[in-house]
């Protein structure tokens, strides 16, 4: 969509008139990448307009991936902060890359609504997210999502008006993917807390795809206990049905509950989703397009129901270290509970525990990352790139 059309659509949806009064005169004065009265527009929208108004390359508009041909946004770096992890470079990149400093400036005036006590309850084991991280990374992301949710809800209203249907409440769905131990669960919880504190206090539900793992008895019968977390270990059909019902706006949709202590699905326990404003779906497999059965690929993917998707990324060596550190902490805490499935690991010596953690990573989690999770990274609309200390060092945002 060209910049002139982008402005018209946003104006029709109330995006400009409501958020930035006095810019109607700029609506029909767009030439190339120049936007008249740009200083009076919201900075985040200006970034979108700059992308939308960049010159089209030959043949652009014929395919979805042709968006990658557009010129980069001025003053934003096109190479990733952590260059070795950039799979696609230069003019072929589908992403605009931001350093941490560039990204934090996009927070604008978004207020910090979390206190240290709130954050302490959201941190995962061995995931030291700080209030500074929230301010510099998650507040700009929260602001971006606020714009996206508002625009998407307006589009639903326009479609319902066109079809002559009453406006139905459809949850906005955010998918969060990444490896075991990379910190995606903490990312999901922090975002849930921030989004729920928006003006109007929207209801935000968080669902993990762990609940859609097949029960241990079924995995054992199929010889898949050593493949837990791989595509074939999930009840993908049930997960897709859950997503379809949520997106259809059904009054109540139930998801199974998984216990990490029991390492199994809890029988007769459900998480019920009752038409929230936003649903965050977090898991290893949310961006995958296969179910582990090459002879019958699925016709629908979990990500087909997402409005926005995030991939939490880091070097594999760093993730392996984080996994080992977490395993050692669990050995001293959760594993000591006799009800824990992994209670036997509590008796290991430190050397034995490190060896076991390394074996599990090599044979299961590391292999799953290489084969099934990492290949989905470029399917996400936003990538959070973590450094050695677990802090986000760079952000990639998919070009419009």
Could you tell me which residues come within 8 angstroms of residue 172 by beta carbon, excluding any fewer than 6 positions away? 148, 149, 152, 153, 277, 278, 279, 307, 308
- What's the chain look like in SS3? CCHHHHHHHHHHCCHHHHHCCCCHHHCCCEECCEECCHHHCCHHHHHHHHHHCCCCCCCCCCCHHHHHHCCCCCCCCCCCCCHHHCCCCHHHCCEEEEEHHHHHHHHCCCCCCCCHHHHHHHCCCCCCCCHHHHHHHHHHHHHHHHHHHHHHHHHHHHHHHHHCCCCCCCCEEEEEEECCCCCHHHHHHHHHHHHHCCCCCCCEEEEEHHHHECCHHHHHHCCCHHHCCCHHHECHHHHHHHHHHHHCCCCCEEEEEEECCCCEEEEEEEEEECCCCEEEEECCCCCCCCCCCCCCCCCCCHHHHCCEEEEEECCHHHHHHHHHHHHHHHHHCHHHCCCCCCHHHHHCCHHHHHHHHHHHHHHHHHHHHHHHHHHHHHHCCEEEEECCCCCEEEEEEECC
Q: Determine the pLDDT at residue 166.
A: 75
pLDDT in tens, the chain (400 residues): 444 444 433 443 443 433 333 333 333 333 333 333 333 334 444 544 454 334 434 333 333 333 333 333 333 333 333 333 444 444 578 999 999 999 999 998 898 999 999 998 898 777 889 999 999 999 999 999 999 998 988 888 888 889 888 767 889 999 999 999 999 999 999 999 999 999 877 999 999 999 999 999 999 999 999 999 999 999 999 999 999 999 999 999 999 999 999 999 999 999 999 999 999 999 999 999 876 665 566 788 999 999 999 999 999 999 999 999 999 999 999 999 999 999 999 999 999 999 999 999 999 999 999 999 999 999 999 999 999 999 999 999 999 7
User: What fold does the segment set 81-398 form as a domain?
Assistant: Rossmann fold (3.40.50)
Q: Determine the pLDDT at residue 27.
A: 32
Q: Determine the pLDDT at residue 56.
A: 37
217 CB neighbour count, 10 Å cutoff: 10
Quick one: CA torsion of 239, 244, 246, 251, rounded to 10 degrees? Answer: -120
Closest listed residue to residue 384, CA positions, set 115, 161, 183: 183
Q: Determine the pLDDT at residue 160.
A: 83
């Amino acid at each position: 969509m060209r910049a002139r059309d982008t402005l018209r659509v946003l104006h029709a949806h109330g995006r400009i008139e409501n958020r930035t009064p006095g810019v109607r005169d700029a609506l029909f004065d767009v030439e190339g990448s120049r936007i008249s009265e740009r200083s009076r527009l919201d900075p985040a929208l200006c970034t979108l307009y700059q992308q939308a108004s960049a010159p089209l390359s030959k043949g652009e508009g014929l395919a979805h991936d042709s968006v990658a041909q557009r010129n980069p946004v001025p003053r934003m770096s096109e190479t990733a902060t952590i260059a070795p992890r950039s799979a696609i470079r230069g003019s072929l990149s589908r992403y605009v890359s931001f350093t941490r400093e560039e990204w934090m400036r996009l927070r604008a005036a978004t207020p910090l609504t979390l206190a240290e006590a709130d954050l302490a309850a959201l941190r995962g084991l061995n995931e030291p997210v700080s209030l500074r991280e929230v301010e510099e990374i998650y507040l700009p992301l929260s602001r971006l999502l606020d714009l996206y949710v508002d625009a998407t809800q307006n589009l639903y209203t326009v479609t319902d008006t066109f079809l002559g249907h009453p406006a139905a409440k459809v949850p906005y769905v955010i998918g969060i993917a990444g490896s075991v131990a990379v910190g995606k669960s903490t990312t999901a919880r922090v975002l849930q807390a921030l989004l729920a504190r928006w003006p109007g206090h929207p209801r935000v539900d968080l669902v993990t795809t762990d609940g859609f793992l097949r029960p241990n008895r079924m995995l054992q019968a199929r010889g898949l206990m050593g493949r837990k977390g791989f595509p074939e270990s999930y009840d993908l059909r049930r997960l897709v049905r859950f997503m379809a019902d949520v997106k259809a706006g059904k009054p109540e949709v139930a998801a199974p509950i998984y216990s990490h202590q029991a390492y199994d699905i809890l029988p007769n326990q459900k998480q019920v989703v009752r038409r929230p404003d936003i649903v965050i779906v977090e898991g290893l497999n949310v961006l995958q397009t296969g179910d582990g059965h090459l002879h019958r690929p699925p016709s629908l993917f979990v990500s087909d129901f997402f409005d926005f998707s995030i991939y939490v990324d880091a070097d594999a060596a760093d993730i392996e270290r984080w996994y080992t550190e977490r395993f050692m902490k669990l050995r001293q805490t959760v594993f000591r509970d006799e009800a824990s499935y992994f209670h036997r690991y509590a008796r290991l010596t430190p050397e034995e525990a490190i060896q076991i953690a390394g074996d599990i990573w090599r044979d299961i989690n590391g292999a799953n990352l290489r084969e099934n999770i990492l290949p989905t990274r470029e399917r996400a609309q936003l990538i959070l790139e973590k450094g050695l200390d677990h802090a986000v060092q760079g952000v990639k945002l998919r070009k419009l």
